[in-house]
A and B are shown apart, each in its own frame.
Chain A
Amino acid sequence: MLGLGILKGLSVTLRHFVETYVSDLKRFPHRYAPQGRARRLRPTERGIFTVQYPEERLEMFPRFRGALMQLTNPETDIPKCTGCGICARFCPVGVIEVVRAEEKRDGQYVPQSYSWDLSACLFCGLCVESCPFGALYHTPEYELSTYGRQKGELIYDLDRLLAWGQKYAPLGTPPVEQEE
């Protein structure tokens, strides 16, 4: 019969539509409760759901490649970065610029300046992968828009990267990174 295929297709759409409401009713008072979020995201869960950004946010996976951070050595309180510039050499687009300081601090080389230009960054992670001192890591930070592109906005200097390091280092670096 002509039109049977269309009706069959429409029944699929109808089922999707109904399933969402049925599932809504099942968890009636707390559909958007935080504890329900994990359940809503399961592949077996039927119906269509939306994460209510920005009220609720997905937790990033540990390997998520967000903005960069610089770690500080907790014992000596100086940056782990020695300004060797390997990250800058590995960067495919050259958004990292490092200058090593003339004299050592506590017997360790330190960077005089470090800048990361977010405007052209690919977020490929080769800088983190190449860092021989374990100083450079990704944060789970992803809301990085700014109103300008000059220094202090889209161009990050060492202090801002270290501040992020202070914020995220207590959470621990991803387990995979520690192995290497």
Chain B
Amino acid sequence: MQTVETRLRTETITLNMGPQHPSTHGVFRMIITLDGETIVDLEPVMGYLHRCQEKIGERNTYLQNIPYTDRLDYICSMSNNLAYVMAVEKLAQIEVPERAEYIRIIMVELTRIVNHAVAIGALLNDLGCFFTPMLYALEERERILDLFEMASGSRMMCNYMRFGGVRYDLPPGFMPELKSVVAALPAFIDEFERLLTDNEIMRIRCQGVGILPPDVAVGYSCTGPLLRASGVDYDIRKVDSYSIYDRFDFDVPLGTNYDVYDRYLVRIEEMRQSVRILEQAIEQIPEGEVSVKLPRVFKPPEGDVYHRIESPKGELGFYLVSDGSTNPYRYKIRSPTFINLTVLPELCKGHKVADVVAILGSIDIVLGEVDR
């Protein structure tokens, strides 16, 4: 393991980071082997937040699983809802009314903005720029969470989507509020960029750190902004379009240098694209029904189904096996951050300890989803 050529006899040391560490975004542990200050090996240890979500999912009925999906990635509960209900709809072949589709897209894209703002804020927190960017991000998030609360009754644990639509129609006064929030978003993103993008300290800390070449990213099956920052044009909204994403005009931003800074830029650009989608959705949203009537005891036909969506963090998929009863026989979650996290040792090798938190922050993990 001797990497540095020296006449002195040196030994590697093992550094234990986490599970209780402010920069690990939750209870996540890394066993880092160091040569001097350079990382030669890193072993991620997960599972401190394991809550048997999949086993609980087999006990619950299909409907009862929806509130549990909120608690996977608690920053973006709406997209988790969407992935799960779309999987069940695919299994039971339920048609969704037009208006419900639009409401879903609006909610999911708002969630994407929330997630990326928080991800960038948390990344800057990890880099040592304490709380200023984080609080600007949270201020914007607060307005969007107010919209969620207005529509669904809860800020974070929305539990808003249902099989064949959404729980309620949008309340009166939602659309004007949404329009004013969406109109204010580009200014917020511009300000965020003015605050950070040209900042020399951030550039020095981020550029050239944690380079993930495209072939490695594909090899580890990374998805989401992490993969797109590595220059791979793969957005499930485009390549395997679901819901009504084919009706919207938006671009997929790609990175060119494959480093932490590129992941930051890709997230900023994705927020802008989400605003574009929101503007189009607000324009096009029709009137009409928002849900279809389903029997109180819902039993999908036998069979299995896998449905994936582009959640803000990457490919979120649900695999369901139904035996025709009220409960799923098997309930498997393909969570994006768990799989993105496996590439962490590859990214960190050769860097210093202080860079680990930057790289981890740029992957954007939520431990509720990693450990399930």
Q: Please tell me which stretch of A1-9, A148-156, A164-172 contacts chain B, meaning at least 4 of its Cβ atoms lie within 8 angstroms of it.
A: A1-9
Interface string of A100-138 (1 = CB under 8 A from B): 000000000000000000000011111001100000001
- Find out whether the CB atom of A9 lies under 8 angstroms from the CB atom of B180: no
CB distance from B113 to the nearest CB of A (A): 13
- Find out whether the CB atom of A62 lies under 8 angstroms from the CB atom of B171: yes
- Find out whether the CB atom of B198 lies under 8 angstroms from the CB atom of A5: yes
Within 8 A of B (CB), among A1-37: 2-6, 8-9, 11-13, 16
| A6 CA to B67 CA, complexed, in Å | 43
* Pick from B132, B181, B195: contact of A43, CB under 8 Å: B181
- A-chain residues with CB within 8 Å of residue B159 when the two chains form the complex: 124-126
Tell me if B143 is interfacial: C-beta within 8 Å of chain A. yes
Interface string of A47-67 (1 = CB under 8 A from B): 010000000000001111100
Tell me if B200 is interfacial: C-beta within 8 Å of chain A. yes
* Pick from B63, B198, B201, B203: contact of A126, CB under 8 Å: B63
CB distance from A148 to the nearest CB of B (A): 25
- Find out whether the CB atom of B149 lies under 8 angstroms from the CB atom of A122: no
CB distance from B328 to the nearest CB of A (A): 13
* Pick from A3, A8, A92: contact of B67, CB under 8 Å: A92
* Pick from A6, A64, A123: contact of B201, CB under 8 Å: A6
Q: Please tell me which stretch of B102-110, B150-158, B279-287 contacts chain A, meaning at least 4 of its Cβ atoms lie within 8 angstroms of it.
A: B150-158
| A6 CA to B63 CA, complexed, in Å | 50
Query: Chain B: interface secondary structure?
Result: helix
Tell me if B304 is interfacial: C-beta within 8 Å of chain A. no
Size of the chain A interface, CB-CB below 8 angstroms: 32
| A65 CA to B136 CA, complexed, in Å | 27
Q: Given A3-B200, A13-B195, are A130 and B296 also a contact pair (CB < 8 Å)?
A: yes
Tell me if A176 is interfacial: C-beta within 8 Å of chain B. yes
Q: Given A43-B184, A48-B139, are A126 and B194 also a contact pair (CB < 8 Å)?
A: no
Tell me if B196 is interfacial: C-beta within 8 Å of chain A. yes
| Interface positions of B (Cβ within 8 A of A) | 60, 63-68, 70, 132, 136, 139, 143, 149-154, 157, 159, 167-169, 171, 180-181, 184, 191, 194-201, 203, 296
Pairs A-B, 8 closest by C-beta atoms: A5-B198, A124-B67, A92-B64, A63-B153, A65-B153, A9-B195, A12-B195, A5-B199
